[in-house]
Amino acid sequence: MKPFGFEAGKRYPLLLNVHGGPHAQYGYPFLDEFQVQAGAGYAVLYTNPRGSQGYGEAFTTAVVGDWGGGDAADVQAGLDEALRRYDWIDPARLGLLGGSYGGFMTSWIVGHSTRFRAACSERAVNSHVTMFGSSDIGHLFNVGELGGVFPWEDMGKYLERSPLTYARNITTPLLIIHSEDDLRCPIGEGEQLFMALKTLRREVVFVRFPDENHELSRAGKPRHRLERFRIILDWFAKYL
């Protein structure tokens, strides 16, 4: 999406959005997230990497056992293609954000890449080890998404595919947002990554929303939804 007030010949910062799920999809309906970002002057990019729905069962299940592998490559390939097609995107001012699985992908990518100037990881899965058995989605979610193994059968797999494992590699300024009543990705998922990055003396901010759950961005209290947008836009304005 072009930013509001787009002018030919100018270059604009870009926000790359990653959807949750992972078995979901972006489409064409109105989404307030993108309208707010574009309205604030950002180019907005959103893609459906492998794992997304809408392209057949094989594509949807391609991410199983491979979180952070081909899906992360697809997300960045989409960005590369957008940069190739549109010279009005400033390649030096790139931001990354996402929630839930999109939060996982954000935390994961900044632990494996330095191409983004700032990022926002929201209601994320940051440790498959601690999410196992503590989420209202059920313990079989992590088992299934990691290829059918329980943690006591292959703890290495759980650690290998957890962004927290790569915290020492994160140098991108990171905004972490989490709701205190989130039962899908319990708030400890955000707390652990925040504490790791603070201990490592990285540039990180942790925002906790009281009386909100996993649906803050979609069904939270209006004042909290407005505050969330303000916090996110202020964060990216600082760096982009």
Domain of residue 111, CATH code = 3.40.50.1820
**Tokens linked to 154:** 């292959």
CA dist., res. 98 & res. 168, Å (int): 21
What percentage of the chain carries pLDDT values higher than 70?
100
* Among the listed residues 217, 20, 191, 205, the one whose alpha carbon sits nearest the alpha carbon of residue 118: 205
Letter string b/e over residues 187-206, b meaning 16 or more CB atoms within 10 A of that residue's CB: bbbbbbbbebbeeeebebeb
Decide if 34 is inside a domain: yes
Look at residue 30 in the predicted model and tell me its pLDDT: 95
Decide if 1 is inside a domain: no
* 3 confidence band (pLDDT: 50, 70, 90): very high
Annotated active-site residue 100? The verdict is yes
Decide if 38 is inside a domain: yes
Neighbours of 80 (CB within 10 A): 11
pTM, rounded to two decimals: 0.98
What are the φ and ψ backbone dihedral angles of 17, each rounded to 5 degrees?
Answer: -100, 135
Decide if 57 is inside a domain: yes
CA dist., res. 131 & res. 67, Å (int): 15
**Tokens linked to 156:** 């290495």
Decide if 6 is inside a domain: no
CB 80 within 8 A of CB 113: no
Decide if 3 is inside a domain: no
Q: 218 is in which domain, residue-wise?
A: 12-239
CB 101 within 8 A of CB 68: no
Look at residue 195 in the predicted model and tell me its pLDDT: 98
**Which of 19, 128, 178, 214 does the annotation list as catalytic?**
214
Rg of the chain over all Cα atoms, to the nearest angstrom: 17
Annotated active-site residue 214? The verdict is yes
**Which of 52, 100, 162, 217 does the annotation list as catalytic?**
100
Look at residue 188 in the predicted model and tell me its pLDDT: 98
Look at residue 69 in the predicted model and tell me its pLDDT: 98
What digits encode the pLDDT tens for the residues 78-125?
Answer: 999 999 999 999 999 999 999 999 999 999 999 999 999 999 999 999
Number of domains composing the chain: 1
Decide if 74 is inside a domain: yes
Decide if 5 is inside a domain: no
Look at residue 4 in the predicted model and tell me its pLDDT: 98
Look at residue 104 in the predicted model and tell me its pLDDT: 98
| Mean residue pLDDT across the chain | 98
